[in-house]
């Protein structure tokens, strides 16, 4: 599992470690790791042109010490400070002693640019002087960010104004939430973690990987039958949106439960596509409520919420939800809104939710007393009692297509019916759904039925790669 920690937590761990180390040792560890990544990207270090964009703090010091290591290996290293009067003294001495140089402007050509402008304590986007340097990065030059891309909020991923777009981010000691959560995550490029020996408590965010998901995926035992494996009820679809019912059932059938029971007006469409579906009300172990319901179905939503089993609420089912009703339920509730639906539930704008996805999903879960899955470019899952927010690492932009969320709801509901806790059902569903989307798209447009069709392949990939630890399962998340 990939874990991420707040700035406050990382700073406390750094202080504790620095108290036990010689002065400057921690920065040297960071610089060594940074220089190694840069050398790997360059391939041939001797003669390479490296430009350091240097801020006044320790982030700039890391860049300067790493630059000194590259200069000693024959690279031509040029440091360009934001403020020539405020440069890390030790780092600058090391760079000049190694043959590097200081410049007042960004060179027109570079084989590598190192972003050491602002560290993890930065807030509010880049200041004008730093932004001006970023604008002058030579076209085509790969950019390596030191700890995180300058201008990205390390705790939230929020970006206020200008920010660096890195090709690689070398982060020290621990991942930070802003590296995993959009919009910041879209600016990090490939992530490289340098272990500097920090001792850390429980994380603020976490991202499952293949092995974690494989342990959570339900598997039938020898004595299992369809009822022991769980039955998921799907209340979805309408005369206007029958396809939503078909897609939600498709996701549910591939989600690990033993049977799917459909309730709604689209039974003919569902049976025509999936004749194994049970039709009509009956006992279920979980409900999926909302995809394609349309208006005027509040009584049906209320009836499902009154059933003392886990309930997933999506799409039209999210309208007019009463937090007190959800808090009083004896079983778990899982809400799966996109940003616009989350904005309506929180009484804010879609733009506000998109700009602050981490705080939005936490607030949503706490206010409604439900596990919240906030869909989007980075899908997040928050528990109502707090704890680490789950960040989904799989997916593709092609998943932004009609019906994709219906498949996800069915899949997550089936995992609920099979016995997973809501936070695990949501996290696993998002992971498998994202991986299936990658498989289905393969760099080209897809439609929602293809996502459902590729769910079994994604499921197998996860199990096989976790088992064999090789490339047999395809992508590593």
The answer to whether 238 touches 266, Cβ cutoff 8 Å, is yes
434 annotated as a binding-site residue:
no
Is residue 123 annotated as involved in ligand binding?
yes
405 is in an annotated binding site: yes
* pTM score: 0.89
Beta-sheet pairing, 190-194 with 168-172: parallel
pLDDT for 471: 44
Residue 122 belongs to what domain range? 2-205
The answer on 179 and 42 residing in a single domain is yes
Q: How many residues does the chain have?
A: 477
Same domain, 219 and 158: no
The answer to whether the annotation marks 379 as part of a ligand binding site is yes
Query: Which CATH number is 345's domain given?
Result: 3.40.1190.20
Annotation-wise, does 475 bind a ligand? no
The pair of structure tokens assigned to 340 is 């616009």
Among residues 205, 225, 247, the one where a domain terminates is 205
Instruction: State how far the alpha carbon of 297 is from the alpha carbons of 25, 300, 315, in Å.
Output: 64, 5, 12
Per DSSP, what are the bridge partners of residue 50? 77, 112
Distance, C-alpha 37 to centroid of its chain:
23
3-state secondary structure (DSSP) of residue 337: coil
DSSP 330: S
Tokens of 286: 């979980």
84 and 166 share one domain: yes
pLDDT at 469: 67
DSSP-assigned states of every residue in 287-321: EEE-TT--SS-HHHHHHHHHSSS-EEE-GGGGTT-
| 378-397 confidence digits (pLDDT tens) | 999 999 999 999 999 999 98
Tell me the residue ranges of DSSP E strands in 82-201. Answer: 101-102, 112-116, 143-146, 168-172, 190-194
Domain end point (choices 180, 205, 230) = 205
Q: Is 178 annotated as a binding residue?
A: no
Task: Please give the C-alpha separations between residue 416 and each of 69, 208, 285, 424, 438, in angstroms, as whole numbers.
Answer: 53, 18, 8, 9, 24
Question: Are 319 and 408 in the same domain?
Answer: yes
Q: Which of 280, 271, 287, 277 minimizes the C-alpha distance to 232?
A: 287
Q: Is 61 annotated as a binding residue?
A: yes
**189 among annotated binding-site residues:** no
| 253 plus 181 within the same structural domain | no
Q: Is 378 annotated as a binding residue?
A: yes
Q: Taking 90 as the threshold, does the pLDDT of residue 222 lie above it? A: no
User: How far apart, in whole angstroms, are the C-alpha atoms of residue 109 and residue 86?
Assistant: 25
Whether residue 97 is found in the same domain as residue 193: yes
The CATH number given to whatever domain includes residue 45 is 3.40.50.10260
Q: Is 376 annotated as a binding residue?
A: yes
Looking at the 3D structure of the chain, how many domains does it have?
2
- Angle (nearest 5°) at CA 316 between 313 and 317: 35
Q: Is 119 annotated as a binding residue?
A: yes
Question: Does the annotation flag 268 for ligand binding?
Answer: no
Same domain, 296 and 382: yes
Same domain flag for 198 and 214: no
Return the pLDDT at 465: 81
**438 pLDDT exceeds 80?**
yes
Answer whether residue 470 shows pLDDT above 70: no
Q: Which of 176, 205, 234 is the last residue of a domain?
A: 205
The mean pLDDT of 13-26, rounded to a whole number, is 94
Q: Are residues 108 and 126 located together in one domain of the fold?
A: yes
pLDDT digit string, tens, across residues 158-171? 998 889 999 999 99
Distance CA 440, CA 263 (A): 29
Same domain, 53 and 181: yes
- Residues 101 and 79: beta-carbon distance below 8 Å: yes
Give the pLDDT of residue 248.
Answer: 98
Q: 147 among the known binding-site residues?
A: yes
115 is in an annotated binding site: yes
259 and 280 part of one domain: yes
Q: For residue 472, what pLDDT is reported?
A: 38
The pLDDT tens digits of the residues spanning 235-258 come to 999 999 999 999 999 999 999 889
Angle between helices 448-468 and 242-253 (to 10 degrees): 10
The verdict on 156 and 275 lying in the same domain is: no
Check whether 60 is labelled as a binding-site residue.
yes
Task: Tell me what the pLDDT averaged over the chain comes to.
Answer: 94
Q: What is the pLDDT of residues 323-354, one digit of tens each?
A: 999 999 999 999 999 999 999 999 999 999 99
* Residue 58 annotated in ligand binding: yes
Residue 124 pLDDT: 75
The percent of residues in the chain predicted with pLDDT above 70, rounded, is: 98
């Amino acid at each position: 599992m990939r874990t991420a920690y707040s700035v406050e937590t990382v700073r406390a761990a750094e202080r504790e470690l620095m108290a036990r180390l010689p002065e400057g040792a921690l920065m040297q560890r960071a610089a060594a790791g940074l220089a190694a990544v840069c050398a790997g990207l360059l391939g041939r270090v001797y003669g390479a042109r490296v430009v350091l964009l240097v801020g006044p703090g320790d982030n700039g010091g890391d860049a300067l010490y790493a630059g000194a290591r590259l200069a000693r290996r024959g690279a031509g290293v040029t440091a360009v400070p934001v403020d020539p009067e405020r440069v890390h003294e030790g780092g600058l001495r090391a760079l000049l002693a190694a043959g590097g140089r200081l410049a007042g402007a960004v060179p027109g050509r570079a084989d590598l640019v190192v972003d050491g402008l602002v560290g993890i304590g930065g807030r509010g986007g880049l200041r004008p002087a730093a932004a001006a340097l970023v604008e002058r990065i030579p076209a085509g030059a790969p950019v390596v960010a030191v700890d995180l891309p300058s201008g990205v909020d390390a705790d939230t991923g929020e970006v206020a104004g200008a920010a660096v777009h890195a090709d690689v981010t070398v982060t020290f000691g621990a991942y930070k939430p802003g590296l995993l959560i959009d919009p910041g995550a879209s600016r990090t490029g490939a992530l490289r973690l340098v272990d500097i020996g920090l001792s850390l408590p429980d994380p603020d965010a976490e991202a499952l990987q293949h092995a974690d998901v494989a342990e959570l995926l339900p598997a039938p035992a020898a004595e299992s039958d369809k009822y022991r494996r769980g039955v998921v009820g799907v209340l979805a679809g309408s005369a206007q949106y029958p396809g939503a019912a078909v897609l939600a059932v498709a996701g549910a059938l591939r989600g690990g439960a033993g049977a799917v029971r459909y309730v709604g007006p689209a039974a003919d469409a569902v049976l025509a596509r999936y004749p194994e579906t049970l039709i009509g009300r009956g006992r279920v172990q979980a409900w999926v409520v909302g995809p394609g319901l349309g208006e005027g179905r509040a009584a049906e939503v209320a009836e499902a919420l009154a059933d003392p089993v886990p309930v997933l609420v999506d799409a039209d089912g999210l309208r007019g939800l009463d937090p007190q009703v959800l808090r009083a339920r004896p079983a778990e509730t899982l809400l799966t809104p996109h940003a616009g639906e989350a904005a309506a539930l929180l009484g804010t704008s879609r733009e506000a939710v998109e700009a602050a996805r981490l705080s939005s999903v936490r607030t949503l879960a706490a206010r409604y007393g439900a596990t919240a899955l906030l869909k989007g470019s980075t899908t997040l899952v928050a528990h109502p009692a707090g704890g680490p927010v789950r960040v989904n690492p799989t997916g593709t932009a092609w998943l932004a297509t009609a019906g994709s969320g219906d498949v996800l709801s069915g899949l997550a509901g089936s995992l609920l019916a099979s016995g997973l806790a809501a936070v695990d059902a949501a996290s696993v569903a998002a992971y498998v759904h994202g991986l299936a989307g990658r498989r289905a798209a393969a760099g080209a447009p897809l439609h929602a039925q293809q996502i459902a069709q590729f769910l079994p392949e994604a499921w197998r990939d996860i199990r096989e790669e976790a088992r064999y630890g090789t490339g047999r399962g395809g992508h590593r998340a």
